[in-house]
A and B are shown apart, each in its own frame.
Chain A
Amino acid sequence: MTSVHPLPVPGRELANPPTDGISNLRFSNHSDNLLVSSWDKSVRLYDASANILRGEFMHGGPVLDCCFHDDSSGFSASADNKVRRIMFSHGKEDVLGRHDAPVRCIEYSYAAGQVITGSWDKTLKCWDPRGASGQERTLVGTYQQPERVYSLSLVGNRVVVATAGRHVNVYDLRNMSQPEQKRESSLKYQTRCVRCYPNGTGYALSSVEGRVAMEFFDLLEASQAKKYAFKCHRKSEAGRDIVYPVNAIAFHPVYGTFATGGCDGFVNVWDGNNKKRLYQYSKYPTSIAALSFSRDGRLLAVASSYTFEEGDMLHEPDAIFVRSVNEIEVKPKPKVYPNPPA
């Protein structure tokens, strides 16, 4: 399945990639291990620095999201409605519980010690993975959402839930009874991805129409005045713009800058504070499905995998690239001119 790329592919391609679309990938908080979920019903654990496939776990349906618990276990969200825990060392997995529809996204909160899942059954569920097996033991709570959950992000005790219908609910993990804030996306089109700022002051939200909105939790006017949105992942061709969905946002753990990945196959790095693009990596073979910085921000994992934006069609093979990140690519630059002439 190797295809010929005229361009030098940026970064090292991992061997044994998933055989179908990559739904998400994440670096561990403790090592350079990389957890990858895929539409081929598998969750794979790679050692990204050694380029070794450490383990592969097959599920009953496509896996839409995965996350680490610690270096020995992780969680997965599957389209067979189940939420699973995977023990890497034993090669074991058990079912934490289930939703009524495919589980779209999953996060583990170190603050609450809970797994949080969002599903197309229009609910958010919190699980206590320490509970004995069985849904009634592990399920902490179910929280109704206005629409199907599309994306989920955590920072501290805050949970930001983005759903269909452009709803955005902000929860406090300590009081999940009702949203702390109910918002509507500032963008006019369907939400693709939401990610909280590492400093916990807000979140970035991307849509299918080549835009990213930078939002702030604080409802004071002064804070809200800071929010803005910008266009990205577009192409001007023959006098018209082609606009691509922005599938992935990943914040740099050290500098707070962030990378976005779009269906145009580009990965851009942005400085949100100075409103500047810091870097654009050369084009990847196909859409960027997911992005993740390693714990120290030295590595960036890029899932180059068709995201079905144009339906069932032939596409480039799914691949994972791990590239080392130069400081200059992600370090914020002080602003010289408010806006350089375009």
Chain B
Amino acid sequence: MSTPKNDPLIQVETTCGTLLYELQIIWDEVGETDADRDEMLLELERECLEVYRRKVDQANHCRAQLRRTIADSEAELAAICSAMGERPVHIRQSDQNAGSLKEELSKILPQLEEMKKRKIERRNQFVEVLEQIQKITNEIYGSSVSISSKTVVDETDLSLRKLEELHRQLHELEKEKSDRLKQVQDYLNTLNSLCSVLGMDFMLTVDEIHPSLGDPKGFTSISDDTIEQLATLIKKLLEVKIQRMERLQDLATTMLELWNLMDTPIGEQQMFQNVTRNVAASEHEIIEPNTLSVDFINYVEAEVSRLEQLKSSKMKELVLKKRLELEEICRKTHLLPDSDCAIEDAIEAIESGFADAATILEQIELQIAKVKEEALSRKEILEKVEKWLTACDEECWLEEYNRDENRYNAGKGAHLTLKRAEKARALVNKLPGMVEALASKTMAWEKEREIEFLYDGIRLLSMLEEYTILRKEKEQERRRLRDQKKLQGQLIAEQEALYGSKPSPSKPQSVKKGPRYSTGGASNRRVSLGGAMMTTHKPDSLHPAKATPKTRPSKKNERMQNDHLNHRHDDATVFSAIRRGLDIVDTPVRKHSSTPRASNAIEPESPLLARKPFSPITSAVSAKSNTTNMLEVEDNGEKSHKMHHQNNDLPYATPLKTIPFVDEENRTPKVMPFPCTPSTVSVPMQTAMTPAATPAPIPFAITKPVEEIEQSFEERRLASLLSKTQITTSYALVRVCAS
């Protein structure tokens, strides 16, 4: 008991003493009995005791309360510490008395407060991490767990270890998320390129999978579902791409082949360079946008089909050309082309896809080869036939000419006609022999080959036979006419004797008619022209005189000479004008070669008499008009029709024969009606050019008309060299004219 504390107690005691004293005084005054006084004093003492007891109880209670609080706090502290995984540093050692209870409490409480604060902090950390985990998980595994649902933190374990664990988890999740993001981005890139190559809208495609994928900035779905869908889509598109690529490459290959086949110009090819470039590319090499889009493939497809069409049309053209060539050869060799493979059929077959153009082409080529081969075997006979037909033509002309009573009238070109007639007569005399030779040749041919020799589909032998019959008939007719004329002459003589002379009735008609026929139509003009040249040709070849081939009169002289002598068929007066003064001459060749066929084709259909005005009156016509038996007429007419047509048609059908004369520079002697070897042609040329009188400068003086062998300078030189070394005398004989 310290003094300061005693002080109030003393005061209390004093107060009590004074109070007691006061009470004694009061009591004394009141005069209380001692018993009352004792009782009162006892009561007072009891009451005081009561108060003391109560206060002790209260204090005791308070102490217990305090102790519980401390224990509670300690327990809480311990719990928190354990939850936080920390050693409870401040746990009180029971044996170690740290002082009064209040002290203890005051010590614990701030600790507790501190721990609580830390716990809340920790909890917040947890919540934060957990929320993040939750969020990422949701992103990854889809929104099966609602994002808004409150995260539940396990209050019992808030240790750092746990936190760390959670952090690790979060980290992992974050990594996964970034991985997935990357994957998705990869997928999206792939998808983008695929879409661009395939010509699809990327945004649209992506939106179908997840609307978020299209947005480059914002949130991107990375759920399993999305990734899976993306992968599937990519796989699908890749398949489409490969499929299209193969299609495109197929097309490109076809295109290249077609180009190659048709020599397509580079310019046209350039447009599809981007297609053909990818012919051998593998899938990943094709990255150019739109290369595999449907539109583009359609575009390429269209081009290929266009090329195909072009090719087929070209094939068709080729078939047509070959076919025409075949027909041309057939026509030239007077063979009838196979009717079973006419152009129309072939074209139809190609168009209907029934036959391949290539096989048809092959067939035709085979045929061409066959026909060519046959033509070769027929050539000899055909040449003879040509000659014969030309001769027949001349015969007709001669007949016509003979009928013209005005024929000896001197007029323009009369000398040409005369010459032609002279020549024609010689030719006609040779005709029977010619026919006979031809027939025997043909028979030999037929025997050898055991097929009939057909000339434009008609058997040549029957043609010849008909001709012979016709000729005989004509002869008879002529004889008959002669008799009749004689008779008429007698009659006229008798009439003259009776009534005096009279002009002959037949004369004026024939005078007018005859010449008109011979020069009437354009075709006849051509005939007579050709004939004129043919006749001029003859005297040329008959001329024995000879001069150098290298000298010739200059142009003016030439023309004059032509007018006078008519020796040079070379510069026939009609055509010399064209060439005169031009050093280089353009020569139209065979311009007419296409025309004869047409007229020939029409010919058989036209009635016999339709041709009459433009054709010389042939034996067939006269025979018809003169025969009495109608049946025979029909027969004759028909029989001779073919002949007539053959003969008559010649001027039209064979311009080849006349045209060579038109231009001597480019003529083709093969088809000349008269066999004319170069040497024999050239010899008369020389005579024609230099009349012996003019002493021309002759650079090449060696002209020995005796020799006919053509030799070049080199051959002569060698011969000369040999003769020099061998000293032979044959030299003079060997030296020949250069041409």
Chain B residues, CB < 8 A from A263: 699
Q: Among B587, B665, B701, B714, find the residue whose CB has the most chain A CB atoms closer than 10 A.
A: B714
Residues on A with beta carbons closer than 8 Å to the beta carbon of B553:
239-241
The answer to whether B585 touches A224, judged by C-beta atoms less than 8 angstroms apart, is no
- Pick the interface stretch among A6-14, A66-74, A225-233: A225-233
Q: Does B95 contact A (CB under 8 A)?
A: no
Encode contact with B along A288-328: 1 for CB under 8 Å, 0 otherwise: 00000000000000000001111110000000000000000
Does B715 lie within 8 Å of A165, measured CB to CB?
no
Between A102, A190, A244, the greatest number of chain B beta carbons within 10 A of the residue's beta carbon is seen for A190
Other-chain residue from B664, B677, B678, B718 in contact with A102 (beta carbon distance below 8 A): B718
- Residues of A within 8 Å of B711, CB to CB, are 164
A148 within 8 A of B: yes
B260 within 8 A of A: no
Asked if residues B587 and A229 are in contact (CB atoms below 8 Å), the reply is yes
Among A23, A148, A239, A311, chain B packs the most CB atoms within 10 A around the CB of A311
Taking the complex as formed, is A54 at the interface, i.e. its CB lies under 8 A from any CB of chain B? no
What sequence of 0s and 1s flags, for each residue 166-189 of chain A, a beta carbon within 8 Å of any chain B beta carbon? Answer: 100000000000000000111111
Q: Does A97 contact B (CB under 8 A)?
A: no
A266 within 8 A of B: no
Q: How far is the CB of A164 from chain B (nearest CB, A)?
A: 5
Asked if A209 is at the interface (CB within 8 A of a chain B CB), the reply is yes
Complex: A208 Cα to B584 Cα, angstroms? 17
Q: Which of B663-713 contact A (CB under 8 A)?
A: 664-670, 677-678, 681-682, 685, 694, 696-697, 699-702, 710-713
- Per-residue CB contact flags for chain A residues 16-42 toward chain B (1 = under 8 Å, else 0) read 000001010000000000000001000
CB < 8 Å neighbour of A240 from B551, B588, B668: B551
Contact of B715 among A148, A166, A192, A229 (CB under 8 A): A148
Indicate if the CB atoms of A62 and B583 lie closer than 8 Å. Answer: no
B434 sits at the interface (CB 8 A) = no
| B310 on interface, CB distance cutoff 8 Å | no
In the assembled complex, the Cα of A243 lies from the Cα of B553 at a distance in Å of 11
| B294 sits at the interface (CB 8 A) | no
Residues of B within 8 A of A228 (CB): 584-587, 665-666
Query: Contact: A242 with B697, CB < 8 Å?
Result: yes
Which chain A residue has the least Cβ–Cβ distance from B721?
Answer: A62
Q: From A164, A188, A229, A275, give the contact of B710 (CB < 8 A).
A: A164
Size bin of chain A's contact surface = 35 or more
Residue of A21, A209, A308 touching B716 (CB-CB under 8 A): A308
B735 CB contacts on chain A under 8 angstroms? 311
> Which chain A residues lie closer than 8 Å to B702 at the CB level?
310-311
Find chain B residues with CB under 8 A from A339 CB.
Answer: 582, 584
Is residue A221 within 8 Å, beta carbon to beta carbon, of the partner chain? yes
Q: Give the complex CA separation of A224 and B586 in angstroms.
A: 11
CB distance from A309 to the nearest CB of B (A): 5
B321 nearest CB neighbor, chain A only: A220
A interface: dominant SS: loop
Q: A62-B718, A228-B585, A240-B694 are in contact. Are A307 and B713 (CB under 8 A)?
A: yes
Min distance, Cβ A193 to any Cβ of chain B, angstroms = 11
A225-B738 in contact given A79-B718, A311-B702 (Cβ < 8 Å)? no
Q: What are the residues of chain A within 8 A of B62 when measuring CB–CB?
A: none
Q: Chain B interface mostly helix, strand, loop or mixed?
A: loop
CA distance A80 to B388 in the complex (A): 47
Q: How far is the CA of A79 from the CA of B739 in the complex (A)?
A: 21
Contacts of B670 in A (CB 8 A): 184
Complex Cα distance, B682 from A227, in Å, reads 22
The answer to whether B720 has its CB under 8 Å from any CB of chain A is yes
CA distance A148 to B715 in the complex (A): 10
- A120 at the B interface (CB under 8 A): yes
Contacts of A224 in B (CB 8 A): 589-590
A64 at the interface (CB under 8 A from B): yes
Give the residue of B581, B586, B590, B699 whose beta carbon is less than 8 angstroms from that of A221. Answer: B590
Contact A230 B551 (CB under 8 A): no
In the bound assembly, the distance between CA atoms of A21 and B721 in angstroms comes to 12
- Quick check: is B474 within 8 A (CB to CB) of the other chain? no
Contacts of B551 in A (CB 8 A): 240-243
Q: Who on chain B is nearest to A192 by CB?
A: B712
Asked if residues B681 and A188 are in contact (CB atoms below 8 Å), the reply is yes
Q: Which of B583-623 contact A (CB under 8 A)?
A: 583-591, 593
| B325, closest chain A residue (CB) | A219
Q: Does B557 belong to the interface (CB within 8 Å)?
A: yes
A50 close to chain B: CB less than 8 A: no
Q: How far is the CA of A187 from the CA of B570 in the complex (A)?
A: 12
Q: Whole-angstrom distance between the alpha carbons of A233 and B713 in the complex?
A: 17
Contact indicator B666/A229 (Cβ below 8 Å) = yes
Expressed in whole angstroms, the Cα–Cα distance for A237 and B553 within the complex equals 10
Q: How far is the CB of B318 from chain A (nearest CB, A)?
A: 14
Closest to A240 in B: B696
Cβ of B549 within 8 Å of any chain A Cβ, yes or no, is: yes
Q: How far is the CA of A145 from the CA of B608 in the complex (A)?
A: 48
B714 close to A244 (CB less than 8 A):
no
Residues of A within 8 A of B718 (CB): 62, 79, 102
Is A150 positioned at the interface, with any CB of B under 8 Å from its CB?
A: yes
| Chain A residues within 8 Å of B33, by CB | none
A64 smallest CB distance to B (angstroms)? 6
User: In the bound complex, what is the Cα–Cα distance between A148 and B714 (angstroms)?
Assistant: 12
The answer to whether B717 has its CB under 8 Å from any CB of chain A is yes
Residue A132 is within 8 A (CB to CB) of chain B in the complex: no
- Which residues of the partner chain B approach A243 to less than 8 Å between Cβ atoms? 549-552
- CB-CB under 8 A from A1, the residues of chain B are none
Q: Which residues of A contact B681 (CB under 8 A)?
A: 188
Closest to B553 in A: A240
Out of B589, B694, B713, name the residue touching A227 (CB < 8 Å).
Answer: B589
User: What chain B residues lie within 8 Å of A118 (beta carbons)?
Assistant: none
Given A79-B718, A228-B586, A190–B550 Cβ distance below 8 Å?
Answer: no
B residues less than 8 Å from A336 (CB atoms): none
Question: Across the interface, do A208 and B701 meet the contact criterion of CB distance under 8 Å?
Answer: no
List A contacts of B550 (CB < 8 A).
208-210, 242-244
A239 contacts B557, CB within 8 Å? Answer: yes
Q: Within the assembled complex, what's the spacing in Å between the Cα atoms of A273 and B581? A: 20
List chain A residues, Cβ under 8 A from B669.
184
Cβ distance A36 to chain B, nearest Cβ, rounded Å:
16
CB–CB A189/B583 < 8 A: no
Chain B residues near A210: list those with CB within 8 A. Answer: 550
A residues near B552, Cβ cutoff 8 Å? 240-241, 243
Is A245's beta carbon under 8 Å from chain B?
yes
Of the candidates B582, B666, B712, which one forms a contact with A164 in the assembled complex, judged by CB atoms under 8 Å apart? B712
- Chain B: CB-nearest residue to A120: B715
Please indicate the chain B residues that have their CB under 8 angstroms from the CB of A53 in the complex: none
B554 within 8 A of A: yes
Contact of A104 among B581, B701, B714 (CB under 8 A): B714
Query: Do B588 and A225 touch across chains, with their CB atoms under 8 A apart?
Result: yes
- Which listed residue (A104, A165, A230, A307) contacts B677, Cβ 8 A? A165
A95 interface residue per 8 A CB criterion = no
On whether the beta carbons of B549 and A189 are closer than 8 Å, the reply is yes
- The reply to whether A188 and B699 contact each other, CB–CB distance below 8 Å, is no
Q: Does A4 contact B (CB under 8 A)?
A: no
Q: Mark A226-260, 1 if CB is under 8 A from B, else 0.
A: 01111110001111111111000000000000000
- In the bound complex, residues from chain B placing their C-beta under 8 Å from that of A64 are 714
Once bound together, how far apart are the Cα atoms of A325 and B546, in whole Å? 43
A189 to B549, CA, bound (A): 9
The 18 sampled A-B contact pairs (Cβ below 8 Å) are: A164-B711, A166-B678, A184-B669, A184-B670, A186-B665, A189-B549, A189-B678, A213-B665, A221-B589, A225-B591, A227-B587, A230-B584, A241-B552, A275-B586, A309-B713, A311-B716, A312-B724, A342-B582
- A-B pairs, 4 with minimum CB distance: A230-B584, A308-B717, A243-B550, A308-B713
Residues on A facing B (Cβ under 8 Å): 21, 23, 39, 62, 64, 79, 102, 104, 120, 148, 150, 164-166, 184-190, 192, 208-211, 213, 221, 224-225, 227-232, 236-245, 263, 275, 307-312, 339, 342
Instruction: Given contacts A164-B712, A240-B694, A240-B696, list 10 more A-B pairs with CB under 8 A.
Output: A39-B721, A227-B587, A229-B666, A230-B583, A231-B584, A238-B697, A242-B551, A242-B699, A308-B714, A311-B702
